[in-house]
Every structure is written in C-alpha cells, then in structure tokens.
Structure 1
Amino acid sequence: MAIVEIPRRETTLPTTPRRAMSSFFSPSNSATTISSFSNHFSSLKNSNTISESNMDEYIENAEAMITKWDVKGSTFAKFTSLFHENRKEAKEFVKCVKDLRRAMHFLVSERAGSAKLVRAQNLMQMSMQRLEKEFYQILSTNREYLDPESVSSRSSRISSSLSSTTSNDENDNGSDHDEIQMVGEKISEVERLSVLAMSDLRLIADCMISTGYGKECLKIYKLIRKSIVDEGLYRLGIQRYSSSQINKMNQNVLEHQIKTWLSAIKIAVKTLLHGERFLCDHVFSSSETIRESCFADIAKEGSTNLFRFPELVAKGKRWPEKIYLLMDLYEAISDLWPETESIFSFELVSSVKFQALSSLHKLGESVRTVLSDFESTIQKNSSRIPVPGGAIHPLTISVLNYISSLANYSGVLSDIIAGSTSPTQLPFPESYFESPTANETPTSAVSVRLAWIILVLLCKLDGKAELYNDIALCYLFLANNLQFVGEIVRATSLKCLLGDDWIAKLDRKVKLYVANYELMAWNKVFSCLPEKSQEEISPDIVRAYIRQFNTAFDEAYRRQMSWVAPDGKFRDEIKVSIARKLVPVYTEFYITHIGTLKRDRNFEVLVRFSPDNLGNYLSDILHGTVISESSSSSSSSSNSRALRCLG
C-alpha cells in the first residue's frame, strides 16, 4: 500500500489570542505528513522494544482516549478542557500519546507502509489538536496565576513544589493535593494554581516536542507570553524613545521620564523578566535550545528597549544637576547587574547584556564630562563685582552645595572615576592646598577628585579677593569663604571622604587669613600706642597718643562696620581674638598715663574710649551694617561683656 503524503500548510502567526485559537486548531494547520513523522521517529533511539501485540494494544487504547477528546467530536469535547475537567485523565491522555509514539516508531521501523501507521498518524494529529487547545487554554485562562510577579516572588517555593509535581507526573500517581504539598507546610491557593498550571504546561510541551510538534507549541506560547511581557513593561511606563525624542524633551519632562524608569527597572528585572525566564525554563525544560530561543523571542526586544533608555539619556544634552540623575541610572543598572547577567546568560539574549553594559559606559562618560564641564565653569567665572563686606561668594556656595551632594554618591563615583585622568595633572599650584593622599580605599579616587574641585574653587577665590581695594578686606573675604568650606565639609559626607588631615590643613589656612586680616585692619591702631607703657611721658605726648588712637580706631571701626563675617560663631571668634590683643594694651596705657589727665577740662572729649566700653565698640563690627555712634554702646553691651572683661 502506497503511503499518501498529506500536504502541510504553513500559516502566519496570528495577531490576537482569539484569532490564534481558531487558526491553531484548524485541520489544515494540524495536518502533518507521514513522511515527516517517519523522519522524526527514525532519528529517535528508543531503548524500549515492544512486540506487535503491545503495539496493537497501544493503538487501541490511544484511539479510545483520543477520539473521546477529539476537538471536532462531541459538544462536550469541543467546549470542555481536559486538564480542567479531570487532570488524572489528562495524564492518561498524555500517556496514551506517548505509547502511540512508541507504536508508530515500531511501525516505521518494521512496516513502513502499513495501514496501521496511517491510522496511528491520524490519531496523533487528533491528539496534537487537543493538546494545542489545552496548551492555549491553560496559558490564557491562568494568566492571573502565571503572571511574572506571582511566579517570580514565589519562585523558590514553587520550584520545590514543581520538583514534587514533576516526580509525580513521571510516576503517574498521587492526587493534586498530595503532589503540591511542600515539606512541612502547605502552599497558598495562588501558589497551588500556579504550580498546577506550570506542571500541566510542561507536561503538554514535553509531549508535543517529543512527537515533533514543538513548533506549534512554541507559537502559542510566544504569542501569549510576549504580549504579557510587553504589556507589563508598558504599564511600568517603559516606552521606546529615539535620540531625537529625548533631545526634544524639556528638562522637567526628561526628569519625569528618568524617575519613571528608575521606579520601573527593579520591578522589570527582578519580577517581570525573572519570572518570565523562570516560567519559560520550566515549561520547556526538556530542551535547552527551545527554551533559550523561546525566551529570546519573548523578552529580547522589550529588554533591549528597557536598557537602551539610559544610554539615550547619557547622550543627550547636559546641565550640572543632571549628574545626579545620571548617577541614579548608573547605580540602578549596577545594582541589578547580577540579576541581569543571570537572566540573559545565553548567547541569543547576550545583546541585552551588551546594551546594559553600553548604557553603563555611556553614563560613566557623561558623568565625567559633566564634572569636567563643572570645573571649567568655575575657572571661567568672570564676575568682577566684589561681594559686599567680604561675605561668602555665591560661587563658593554653589560649588560646595554641588560637591557635598556628589559626596552622597561616593560609591557610584568611585566606579565611574576610577581609571580616569588624574586632575592633579592640570596646571594649578599644588602647593596652594594639598589634596587627600590617594590610597587603596574604594573612595580614594572620589576624595582626590572632589578635593581638586575645591582647589579649583580656592584658586578662583584668590582672584576674586584681588577685586577689593582694602587688603584687610581681601583677607577677611578669603577667611570667610574658607571657613564656609570647612563648615560644609564637616556637616556632610565630605568629612569622611576628605579626612581629618585635610580639614586641619584648611583650618590652618583660615587662621592664617584671619591673622593677616587682623594685622592689616588693626595694625595702625596698635601703632598709635607706645611700645612701653610704663615709661614716663609728658602729658602733651599722652594727648598726642590719645588723638592718634581715637582717629585710627574710629577709622578702623567705621570701615569694619560695613564688613561682615556671616557665621556668628566665626565672627565672635574673630572679635574675641582682636579684643585679646587690643584691650589689655589699651588698658595698661589708660591706667598708666590717661589717669593723669582726668583734671583736664576737655578730658571726656579727649578720651573717647575707656577700657570698659572698648569691647562694646568691637562687638559692633563685622555685621555688615552701619549703626549710629550714639547707639553703638547701648545696643551691643548685652552681648559683649566677655569682650570688655578680657583686659
């Protein structure tokens, strides 16, 4: 008897689940040539030999079971799910299909042209139509229990249950309740249904693949599961952007999209993609090639788009504050790298890993560029207007706020900066202010880099100080700004990065500037008093000293009334330091010589300052405001008693 080949029609992949179902289960789509079965079974090495009587029994049993559940048979068979109706009978169905396969293998090897082979072939086609329908129904009706979140969050517990279920499937015994019970405890209802659905899918997939119908099984699976992954990414806010779209976004919109991505990435990787990989690996565990190909078709496109977004952001327009968003993106990808590498561990999806690495590389480049641009901005600051009163320069405030925020990203920055060009090669005087000593700690590169930015700032402040006509005010300006730098460093993560030695060197620099300020601002006042107050001098010379002191002190006082030390504690320290040098010297001169002039008619006019009220005048300076002479003593007496008593 001649074997008649039944032509097999290739169909395109349906676009919707409903159309997929009608297409997959059509007779023309399920028809398979006998010769294709011959080729398939000829390639198998079946270690089990069966007799002709066994072969006949297998075919008879298969025919009874398969025709009962023929999708074109009774109304009950058409609209009822075998696995939902009776899972024990469903397993019997699969067993009959496997026995039928063994019988067909025997017929191919022994009687290639027999009528029984045609009969078995027709039964096999009927069984595959039923299994295709069952596979589709399980996937579509159990989406709630097969969603990646449920599968991923319970993967370890489900794995244990699935191991038990697989063992029971192979032994073909045990009830549904027994086969999903974990050691020592019961799993939840959701987990139970997840385990059952995954177990049934694997059973069907193994059967269809072993009988040469793997392609049909994969089409159904990929159609449904890819839509779930794509929908999941869309609901997380992951969209596909082009470089031009990113560049056209204004800053607020881009920041919103970045924050959306940052909120989504952990869920996308640890839940959505991890769960999908876990499900795919289980359902197609019988074939490494099939499960890798299947997962690649389902997740590769969406995952590549997911990890491409940070690279597009990195390539887009830059502004100083963008560095924090870039580092957030970098940190998110770095933190998820172990999971990413595990999920996309095989060749077909390796491009996803490469995309993640490419995004990391571009983000790192962009962060380094923003840092360089920031340094350049400091150097190019061309403001020629001195800050009134020697106060803290706006550039100092902005730079310290910026790098103190950068210090909170020291872990990310250490990865990004490591291996980049050392900033100490730039043409700045290294002796001006030393950087922390580089060592083997992970944050050493960050410490050196941030210290260098401060050095760039301090060199710029030197130039800003030259804008003041008064050299004393120049030193006060530098002291104020360096003191501000020190306070910010102590109050932020910069303290740990720059270290105590760095701060101590900064403090010494501040004290040097304060000493120079005091010398230049008050030296003329000191020079108006005799070097040796105990020596006897004539009343006329005493009067001359007093007049010179009055003039010099009044001049210094009035100038420094408009100067400022914004930090209250620092201001008090400066005034105490001045008082400790001035008040005792003036007091000694006053007691030794001025007392002899008390009988002068113009004594009160001549001697304007007494040791008791000299401290009051000093307490008025460095507030940045001018107050009337008549109110100076009364307005400041309450907060200057310590100054008055220093002599």
Structure 2
Amino acid sequence: MAIIEIPKRETAPVMPRKTRASFFSFSKTLSAISSLSIPSLPYTPSHTFSETMMEENIENAESMITKWDPSDSSEVNFVSLFKENRKEGKEFIKCVKDLRRAMHFLVSEHSSSEKLVVAHKLMQTAMKRMEEDFYHILSENREQLDPESVSSWSSRVSQSSNSDVDEDVESDHEIWAVGKSISEVERLSMIALSDLKLIADCMISSGYGRECGKIYRLIRRSIVDEGLYSLGIEQYSSSQINRMNSEAFEHHIKNWQNAIQFAIKTLFQGEKFLCDHVFSASETIRESCFTYISKEGATNLFRFPELVAKSKRSPDRIFRLMDLYESISDLWPEIESIFSYESISAIKLQALSSLHKLGDTVQTIISEFETSIQKNSSRTPVPGGGIHPLTNSVMNYMSFLANYSRVLSEVATNLASPAKLPFPESYFDNPNNEDNPTSAVSVRLAWIILVLLCKLDNKAESYNDIALSYLFLANNLQFVVEKVRSTNLKFLLGEDWILKHERKVKLYAANYETNAWSTVFSSLPENLTAVSSPEMVKGCFRQFNSTFEEAYRKQTSWVVTDGKLRDEIKVSIARKLVPAYRVFYETHLATLSEEKNLEVLVRYSPDNLGNYLSDLFHETAASGSSSSSLSSSMSRASRCLP
C-alpha cells in the first residue's frame, strides 16, 4: 500500500502554558488532501471487509484520542497518559498505529474519502498529545534519567534485551528481565525510558520525528551542560592558564582528570545510550540529537589539555602534561565509540589535537632538560666528594619519567633512535638488534644519564686531589646505579646496564684507593720479615706513621654516602694494609725492646689501624673518637721528638 506523506510542522517545546498553545499548534494542514479532486456527488462506497476494518480503526481511534485530547487539560491539571495508566497509554499508541494504517489504506484506495480528513485531524490531535506526554516524561524524570543512573543499568538492559520480543512489549520485557537485580529508582527510570521509546517510535513512524527530536534536544542538552558545569569544566584561555600559580595549576589539572573520567564513562556514555534507545527507530534523528546535546560541551572538555600544552613550559610541568595525555589515551576506545558519528568528528579531532600537542610539548621539555644538564656550569666542588646536587636532581627527575614509560613510548615517534645518538661503542649490547628489547624511550633515558655522567667527569676535575676526584665519581655513579635499581628505570635500562655501571663504580673505587693509600702501602718494606737493623726498623715505623697520619687526616672529611660502597672500600683498604702491618709489627717489635719512647715510635697496633679505618667516610668522621685519639697521639709524639 502507498504510505501517506503527512506534512510536518515547525514547533519548539516551551515550558509556560501560555506559550505552549502556540508551541503545540500545528501548521500541518489538509492541503495535501484538498488538492485532490473530490467529486461533486456524495461518496457511496461499496464496503469491503478491509474498508470496514479501517473504518472501525478510525472510530476506535477517535474515541481514545478524543478522551485524551490535550486541549481539554490545563497546565495545572495535566496528567501524563503513561503515568496515569500505562496500559491505556499503550492502547493509545496502538490506536494511533491503527489510525495510520487506515489513512494509508484510504490514500491508496479512496483518496477523496471524507474519512481521510477526519483521520488526519485525529492524527494531529494524537501527535499533540504525544508531544505533551513526551515533554512531560522527560521533564518529570530528569533525576531518574540522569546519565549516572542510566549508565549504571544500561549494560544490563542491553544484555537482557531480546530482539524477538514484539515491538509493543519489548521495553517491558527488558524491565522484567532485570527487575530482580535493580532498585526501585532504577525500575522507575527504565519505565520512563520505555515510555519515551514508545512515544518516539510512534511519532517517528507517523512523520513527527523532527518535533519529537526538538523536545528531546532542548531538555537533554541542559542536563549535559549542567553536568559539565558541576564537574568544574570551564571555558579557559591560554592567558588564564599562563597566569596560574603552581597550586592553581595542579588543582585544575587534577579536577580535569577526575572530570573526564566521569564525563566520558558516565555523562556522555549515558546520554549516548539514552539517545540510541529512545530514537532506535531513526538513525538520522539519533545522530542529530546526540550531536546537538554533546558537541559543544565535549569539544570544550578536550580543548583544555591543548591549552595547557601550549602554555609556558617548565620541567616540573611535564608530569602533569603526561597525566593529561594518559587520561585521554586510556579513554580513547570509549571516545571513539561514543563520538562515532560523522557529525561530531570534530570532538575526536579536538581530542587527537590535544594528544599531539601534549606529546610535542613533552618531547620539547625533555630536550630542554637535556640541554640544561649540558649547560650546567657550576664549578664548586662538593665537600668530601659527596653527591652533587645535579646528580640528585637529574636522577630524581629521571625516576619520575620512568613511571610514565607507556606515555613516553606513545610520544616517542620523534625521539632520537639509537642510531642517531652518539653512544660509546657497546654502551648497549647490540642496540640495533631487532630482538633487543631496548626501546626508543630506554635509549633516550640512557642517553640523558650518559650526558649527566659526562658532566660529572668534568666536575671531578675541580678537585685538587686526584684520589678525591675518583671518590666523587664513585659516589655519584653509585647513586645513579642505586636510583636505577630501585625505580622503574631498571625495567627500561635493564640488568646489563646496571652490571656494567657497577663495574665502573668498582673501577673508580680502585683508582681512589690506589691514589689515596699507595704511599702508605709502600712505606712498609717489600720483604716484611727480612732481618733489619734497629735503625732501619725505626725508619720504617716513622715513615708508616707519617704517611698513614697524612692520609687519614686528609680523608677524615671525605664521605662515601652509600653504606655498601663505604664498607667495600674500607674492607679493601684494611685487607691490604692491616695484615701487612701486622706481620711487620710482630716481626720487628722485639728489635725495639730497649727503646725508651716506644709508644711514640710505634704509635699504632694492628688492631688500632682497623678502628681508625672504620671511622672513615662518614660525614661526622672529623669529630669521631678515633680522630680525636689520633690527634692526641700525634700531639704526644711531637712533644717527645728531639
């Protein structure tokens, strides 16, 4: 059968009753019917069974539609048909469908029938009623149909829906299917949603989908705008962000991170489900409604990270930028799913633009950070060869960067590859090997650490004592290695990197030991047990006392900050010094039995040497007991010497 084209009207829902009369007045006329040629003689049909059924449909529809004529109710006493009696509401929908079938039949078979004029007027009245009920259900159920509530049970509705259920009872079937697992509030929300869908389906199939969509867009847009406002989403400008102090900047970043989680997973996802469900009968209306509701708010939501990325750069802001990047990246599957319509592609483009700007700024800050290390010009030696402030700040920064390895790997497309960075040979084991797990991020972070180590080599030259410069290098490299080992850097640089640099720490420690203690070691004769004259023995003791005291006095202010390294260095010195001195001491002490000032000549027993060494490399060593004892011993010796 041919389907009647019912002319559409232009309306917009307005809340006051005074203006609602004009809002619900129809411009749809009978022009389509009056243009037909109507014979001057009365129509005398020859009734068939189909004609009789169509006439009955019109009569039944007239009875039901007249009963619920919206012109008979006022703003004050208006009662929703579906709220009053849902069963009768469904019967009303059925009558409208039957009326529509009758109109199609008359247009096809008897286009000049006066019954068609009557049916058309009834359809206008019915649609006016449908609009009023649609508006009323949306308005009265704003809280029940808020996106958070919809999101909480939308998945259960989707899982329980049955495509084989008859169209008229489909929504009730869904409510029944999940009824045992939902609250009373959720049940009422789903009933309202079911009624909205019934009305929308009816209006769309009757040619009034545009009017239905206008009402929906007006009310639901305000809900989305209010939701975003309550989340603290504002219209920012670059100048506003640049003027923020660090505290305000942190606050707005954290607020946005919390807001986007709720906005995407609850607000927009709930609205998308609601819109798709209500207007499942028309993809065009579904898209136009959701586009109108979400486009401006979502675009503004995703514009904030781009403005932050374009604001003033500083090394500490990089972590907040990566937080923003991670938030968008984590939600990208939902963003693509929710904003899938071509008409709202601008939202995804804005989100992508923010990702790219954030990524570019992160790369720029890392490059600037590397440059700042290279330009560090401080030449003041760190007292005692301790940890340089640059080492501390760089490694703390690097350890925080390592916590964002996934984000860095996503923005690493423009990071220098291993081949582009001038690493020393074998810095990585086969860095260009395709099977090697070393990533662009790992290489870049390793490169920055290498820049730091090269800068530390330069700073070591500031020390006048070569032994202290090696101790400085050992201290700082040990700090770097331990920072790598104890943070996520270990997963990026790998165990081989750690072992390689640990060997270098040992090499620095060995070089320190050689330069600091070689004169003490050489003060004892090569042949410790060879028979010597008393004078030669006295000379050896005097030389040992002198070199040991000089080395000890110099190193009481030196530090080794890492406890393990400190113990290893002291044990290594003691193993070389104490046993050799013990052999010499026990072999030749009897030779000096007649010496009057023996305690001045032989100042240290083998056991005392170990005690003195144990006090070295602590920051408070200069005030330690052994240091005081050594000073006292040296003072007594000076008084006794001729």
What's the TM-score once normalised by structure 2's chain length? 0.88
Q: Deviations over 1:456-509 (max 9, x none)?
A: 111110011011010000000000111111222222222222222111111100
The separation in 1 between residues aligned to 2:501 and 2:598, in whole angstroms, is 47
CA distance in 2, matches of 1:327, 1:498: 21
1:456 aligns with 2:454: no
The alpha-carbon distance between structure 1 residues 388 and 179, as it changes in their structure 2 partners (threshold 3 A), is closer
Deviations 1:105-128 (A, max 9, x none): 334344545443332222222111
- Cα offsets for 1:250-297 (capped at 9, x unmatched): 222121111001112121111111111111011111111110111111
> Partners in 1 of 2:413 and 2:436 — Cα distance?
11
- 1:440 Cα offset (Å): 5.2
CA 1:188 to 1:517, structure 2 compared with 1: closer, same or farther past 3 Å?
Answer: same
Summarize the Cα distance change of 1:76–1:378 in structure 2 as closer, same or farther, 3 Å threshold: closer
What pairs up with 1:574-589 in 2 under 5 angstroms?
574-589=569-584
Rounded Cα–Cα distance in structure 2 between residues aligned with 1:92 and 1:122: 19
Q: 1:552 aligns with which of 536, 547, 551?
A: 547
Return closer, same or farther for 1:23/1:10 CA change in 2, 3 Å cut-off: farther
1:167 aligned residue: 165
For 2:245, the equivalent position in structure 1 comes to 250
Report the Cα offset of residue 198 of structure 1.
1.3
Deviations 1:428-455 (A, max 9, x none): x615954784655777333222222211
Asked if 1 retains the 8 angstrom alpha-carbon contact of 2:10 and 2:211, the reply is no
Deviation, structure 1 residue 316: 1.3
Question: C-alpha separation between the residues in 2 aligned to 1:455 and 1:224?
Answer: 60
CA contact (8 A) 1:390 1:564 kept: yes
The answer (yes or no) to whether the contact 1:436–1:502 under 8 Å persists in 2 is no
Q: Quick one: which of 386, 410, 424 aligns to 1:430? A: 424
Decide whether the 8 Å contact of 1:160 with 1:182 is kept in 2: no
CA contact (8 A) 2:421 2:447 kept: no
Matching residue of 1:122: 121
Change (3 A) 1:290 1:629: closer
**Could you say if the C-alpha distance between residues 271 and 493 of structure 1 is closer, same or farther in structure 2, counting changes exceeding 3 Å?**
same
> Counterpart amino acid of 1:158?
V
The answer as to whether partners of 1:161 and 1:181 remain within 8 angstroms in 2 is no
Is 1:148 equivalent to 2:147 in the alignment? yes
Residue number among 386, 390, 394 corresponding to 1:391 in the alignment: 386
1:73 paired with 2:72, answer yes
Structure-2 residue corresponding to 1:61:
60
Gaps of 5+ in 2: 1-5, 36-47, 632-642
1:567 aligns with 2:562: yes
C-alpha separation in 1, matches of 2:436 and 2:221: 45
* 1:236 and 2:234 are equivalent in the alignment: no
Deviates more, 1:402-411 or 1:223-232: 402-411
Long gaps (5+) in structure 1: 1-5, 40-48, 637-647
**2:28 pairs with 1:32:** yes
Shift of 1:162: 5.4
CA distance in 2, matches of 1:27, 1:591: 115
| Residue 92 in structure 1 maps to residue 91 in structure 2 | yes
Query: Using a 3 Å threshold, how does the CA distance of structure 1 residues 342 and 37 change in structure 2: closer, same or farther?
Result: farther
CA distance in 1, matches of 2:483, 2:34: 81
Give the C-alpha shift of residue 331 in structure 1: 1.4
Out of 269, 284, 287, the position equivalent to 1:274 is 269
Q: Write the deviation string for residues 392-430 of structure 1: whole angstroms up to 9, x where unpaired.
A: 111111111111122222222222225532266345x61
**For the structure 1 residues 566 and 420, does the alpha-carbon distance in structure 2 shift closer, same or farther, using more than 3 Å as the test?**
closer
Distance in 2 of aligned mates of 1:143 and 1:28? 22
Residue 359 of structure 1 corresponds to which residue in structure 2?
A: 354
Q: What is the distance in 1 between the residues matched to 2:133 and 2:268?
A: 25
CA distance in 2, matches of 1:23, 1:8: 20
Equivalence for 2:44: none
CA distance in 2 between partners of 1:308 and 1:504 (Å)? 46
Helix, strand or coil: the match of 1:317?
A: coil
TM-score by length of 1: 0.88
How big is the shift at 1:100? Answer: 2.1
Give the Cα separation in 2 of the matches to 1:436 and 1:253: 47
CA separation of 1:330 and 1:440: change in aligned 2, threshold 3 A: farther
Provide the C-alpha distance between the structure 2 equivalents of 1:370 and 1:516, rounded to a whole number of angstroms. Answer: 37
User: Alpha carbons of 1:433 and 1:471: their partners in 2 closer, same or farther (altered >3 Å)?
Assistant: farther
Moved more, 608-617 or 394-403: 608-617
Q: State the match for 1:108 in structure 2.
A: 107
Residue number among 299, 303, 320 corresponding to 2:298 in the alignment: 303
Offset of 1:78 from its aligned partner?
5.6
C-alpha separation in 2, matches of 1:344 and 1:38: 45
2:233 and 2:301 in contact (8 A); partners too? yes
Call closer, same or farther: CA 1:103–1:344 in 2, change over 3 Å.
same
Query: Which of 300, 325, 330 does residue 330 from structure 1 map onto?
Result: 325
Q: Does structure 2 conserve the Cα–Cα contact (< 8 Å) formed by 1:311 and 1:363?
A: yes
- Contact 1:319 1:370 (8 Å CA) reproduced: yes
Residue 9 of structure 1, CA deviation: 7.4
